[in-house]
Chain A
Amino acid sequence: MRWIETRAALLFISPWLIGFMIFTAWPVINSAYLSLTDYDVINDPNFIGFDNYVTLFEDPKVGLALRNTFIFMIMSVPTQLVVSLGLALLLNSATRATGFFRTAFFLPKMTPPVAVGILLLMLFNGQNGLINSFLGVFGIEGPAWTTDPDWVKPGLVLMSLWTVGSSVVIILAALRGVPQELYDSALVDGAGWWRRTLRITVPMISPTLFFLFIVDSINALQSFTEAYTAFFGSGNTTYSNDAALFYAIYLFQQAFEFLHMGYASALAWLLFIVIMAITAVQILVTRRFVHYEGGQP
């Protein structure tokens, strides 16, 4: 009887089991091996020990890409969180047409990231882009967002705010789950809106904010499409912008433009370690600010 159930279960999970072995387990092993080789797809892999990892630390582009990626993460993740929390709070306190506003905030998330990259180039164009024209109304001369190395990343961060829609939806769902009694008793105590938000709302939804913080950070460390679309391209170097060279972009270039498969594998393992380390630190540091109803899960 037990064996029959096990056999049935194995049949049901077999697609994943097979897929896991072919497309995860084997690639992970192979990637670890390839990272110790020099491999260009055409000739056989040539074992070179830890040379690729030594090269990593000497490659100035790796340092640049890591720095760019960190800066982007540090700028974009908190801004996205604050903006999506703000929008969700506004939505939560509105009484009518919340469906319409929620749709408005979510819709940009449906735009293909390539199109977001293109929109970035248009909207943030230094000479005749919409953003600078808007700033011009107030007499502010906007920077050259898409060409000035100092302003490329802020532009990418601002553009990323356009697609916070899913975070807004997630936070809004959490806000709806905060029990009304908590607010009622706070109102009796005469607590104002700010106080209620900071003392009740934020602690009550802190597990959700924590989840978004971690997930957004992991995503930011791997961000690729928008920056690649706007600042890199096939065979054109005139418009590539070093300030937008994110780690994932450099890895992609090494693997599929220069066919340095071994080096790219080493780059991938460094990324893996960096993501793990950053996530672990974030969890350790922020965990004590997270409030779980009914204790730690």
Chain B
Amino acid sequence: MRRRIRLILTWTALSAFAAAFIYPFVWLISASFKPRSEVFDHRILPETFTFDNYIKVWQEAPMALWMFNTLLVTVLAAVAVTITSAMVAWGFAYFRFPGRGFLFGVVLATMMLPGAVTMVPVFLIWNSLGMVGTLTPLWAQNLFGSAFYIFMLRQFFLGLPREPFEAAKIDGANNWKIFTRIALPLCKPAVVVTLLFEFQVAWTDLLRPLIYLRDSSTFTVPRGLKALLDQFGFGGEWHWEIVMTASVIATVPMIIVFFLGQKHFVKGIATTGSKG
């Protein structure tokens, strides 16, 4: 009996918290279908249901272009960082060479360095290459791997048995083949986690687009959203319904990505904690 009561209490508490976590989404999506005057009425279902906000956002902002820019940057960033991080991780996990421990220590040390320290000089590099204002600085650094993913993937590679690789070697497979044909397929879950994590990071980033993008036609969705907020939220026009609708448009792709890769996401995040 006491057990029963405890379960019911747990359930009630969980439901209340879950409602609190989900409610802002519901509120935001609902508001995006309300006319301007009813945006703050806090009704769950709009009194007057309208698609006007979505049409207005599409007219006021180059939303499709922003989406395209973001998708381009995100895909390039995620694919680049996954391939190169896996390569580097494999290099550290499979081979024995002088200085390996030291170099891997350097990889770990770079994770401790706040991004703020390299932010200005890295900007100056892109500036001297004439690439400020283009999308390149948002993803091209990913061609060189990223410490966190290198660490994560290396852990995964270290957990693999060595026999299949030695067997392949005896069969005459070269190192690249061993990596692409055997090692990568074996660590597919970790590769998917890397892709998903970086997809999220690249899609939602604001800082780099703020630093590197100048012209509205090059904006990513988060940068465009900030511009819309400055124009329609603060800009004296008070068209919050446009800002909210754009927020929905910016968020929905991430929700879709989450539901597509939910299992991997949750597993990936759970392991980052235990590896700490």
Q: In the complex, how many angstroms separate the beta carbon of B237 from the nearest chain A beta carbon?
A: 12
Q: In the complex, how many angstroms separate the beta carbon of A202 from the nearest chain B beta carbon?
A: 15
Which one of A18, A19, A115, A222 contacts B225 once the chains associate, using CB atoms below 8 Å? A115
Interface residues of A in 221-245 (CB under 8 A from B): 222, 224-225, 228-229, 233-236, 238-239
Whether A27 and B121, one on each chain, are in contact in the complex, defined by CB atoms closer than 8 angstroms, is: yes
Find the residue from A113, A122, A238 having the highest chain B CB count within 10 A. Answer: A122
Whether A272 and B116, one on each chain, are in contact in the complex, defined by CB atoms closer than 8 angstroms, is: yes
A81 within 8 A of B: no
Which partner residue on chain A sits nearest B118 by CB separation?
A27
Which partner residue on chain B sits nearest A228 by CB separation?
B206
Whether B110 and A252, one on each chain, are in contact in the complex, defined by CB atoms closer than 8 angstroms, is: no
Q: In the complex, how many angstroms separate the beta carbon of A272 from the nearest chain B beta carbon?
A: 5
Whether A112 and B207, one on each chain, are in contact in the complex, defined by CB atoms closer than 8 angstroms, is: no
A139 within 8 A of B: no
Once bound together, how far apart are the Cα atoms of A24 and B147, in whole Å? 11
A292 within 8 A of B: no
Whether B114 and A255, one on each chain, are in contact in the complex, defined by CB atoms closer than 8 angstroms, is: no
Whether A15 and B27, one on each chain, are in contact in the complex, defined by CB atoms closer than 8 angstroms, is: no
User: How many residue-residue contacts, CB under 8 A, span A and B?
Assistant: 272
**Scoring B residues 214 to 246 as 1 if CB is less than 8 Å from chain A, else 0, what string do you get?**
000000011001110110011100001001100
Whether B124 and A30, one on each chain, are in contact in the complex, defined by CB atoms closer than 8 angstroms, is: yes
Which one of A34, A108, A133, A236 contacts B121 once the chains associate, using CB atoms below 8 Å? A34
Whether B266 and A233, one on each chain, are in contact in the complex, defined by CB atoms closer than 8 angstroms, is: no
Interface SS majority for chain B: helix
With A30-B124, A94-B10, A123-B24 known to touch, is A107 a contact of B255 (CB < 8 Å)?
Answer: yes
Q: In the complex, how many angstroms separate the beta carbon of A274 from the nearest chain B beta carbon?
A: 9
B192 within 8 A of A: no
Whether B250 and A115, one on each chain, are in contact in the complex, defined by CB atoms closer than 8 angstroms, is: yes
Whether A236 and B234, one on each chain, are in contact in the complex, defined by CB atoms closer than 8 angstroms, is: yes
Once bound together, how far apart are the Cα atoms of A10 and B250, in whole Å? 41
A212 within 8 A of B: yes
Once bound together, how far apart are the Cα atoms of A13 and B95, in whole Å? 10
Q: In the complex, how many angstroms separate the beta carbon of A143 from the nearest chain B beta carbon?
A: 17
A185 within 8 A of B: no
Whether B11 and A261, one on each chain, are in contact in the complex, defined by CB atoms closer than 8 angstroms, is: no
Which partner residue on chain B sits nearest A269 by CB separation?
B117
With A90-B13, A107-B21 known to touch, is A19 a contact of B144 (CB < 8 Å)?
Answer: yes
Whether B117 and A268, one on each chain, are in contact in the complex, defined by CB atoms closer than 8 angstroms, is: yes
Which partner residue on chain B sits nearest A94 by CB separation?
B10
Whether A34 and B120, one on each chain, are in contact in the complex, defined by CB atoms closer than 8 angstroms, is: yes
Which one of A41, A103, A104, A222 contacts B262 once the chains associate, using CB atoms below 8 Å? A103
Find the residue from B94, B117, B270 having the highest chain A CB count within 10 A. Answer: B117
A36 within 8 A of B: no
Q: In the complex, how many angstroms separate the beta carbon of A216 from the nearest chain B beta carbon?
A: 12
Whether B254 and A112, one on each chain, are in contact in the complex, defined by CB atoms closer than 8 angstroms, is: yes
Q: In the complex, how many angstroms separate the beta carbon of B179 from the nearest chain A beta carbon?
A: 7
Total contacting residues, chain A, CB less than 8 A: 99
Once bound together, how far apart are the Cα atoms of A272 and B109, in whole Å? 13
Once bound together, how far apart are the Cα atoms of A171 and B230, in whole Å? 38
Q: A residues within 8 A CB of B265?
A: 106
Q: B residues within 8 A CB of A157?
A: none
Which stretch from B45-53, B54-62, B96-104, B158-166 is at the chain A interface? Answer: B96-104
Which one of B25, B106, B141, B274 contacts A23 once the chains associate, using CB atoms below 8 Å? B141
Whether A6 and B95, one on each chain, are in contact in the complex, defined by CB atoms closer than 8 angstroms, is: yes
Q: In the complex, how many angstroms separate the beta carbon of B83 from the nearest chain A beta carbon?
A: 9
Once bound together, how far apart are the Cα atoms of A212 and B272, in whole Å? 10
Whether A215 and B226, one on each chain, are in contact in the complex, defined by CB atoms closer than 8 angstroms, is: no
B87 within 8 A of A: yes
B184 within 8 A of A: no
Q: In the complex, how many angstroms separate the beta carbon of B229 from the nearest chain A beta carbon?
A: 6
Which partner residue on chain A sits nearest B110 by CB separation?
A24
A105 within 8 A of B: yes
Q: In the complex, how many angstroms separate the beta carbon of A122 from the nearest chain B beta carbon?
A: 7
Whether A222 and B114, one on each chain, are in contact in the complex, defined by CB atoms closer than 8 angstroms, is: yes
Q: B residues within 8 A CB of A193?
A: 6
Sort A-B residue pairs by CB-CB distance and give the 10 closest, nearest first.
A19-B144, A12-B91, A170-B273, A211-B276, A9-B95, A27-B121, A173-B270, A112-B204, A13-B91, A104-B18
Q: List 7 A-B contacts (CB under 8 A).
A: A12-B87, A13-B87, A18-B144, A90-B14, A115-B247, A122-B31, A122-B240
Q: A15-B144, A112-B206 are in contact. List 16 more A-B contacts (CB 8 A).
A: A10-B91, A12-B90, A13-B92, A16-B144, A20-B110, A27-B118, A28-B121, A102-B266, A105-B21, A106-B258, A106-B265, A111-B204, A114-B226, A122-B28, A122-B240, A251-B116
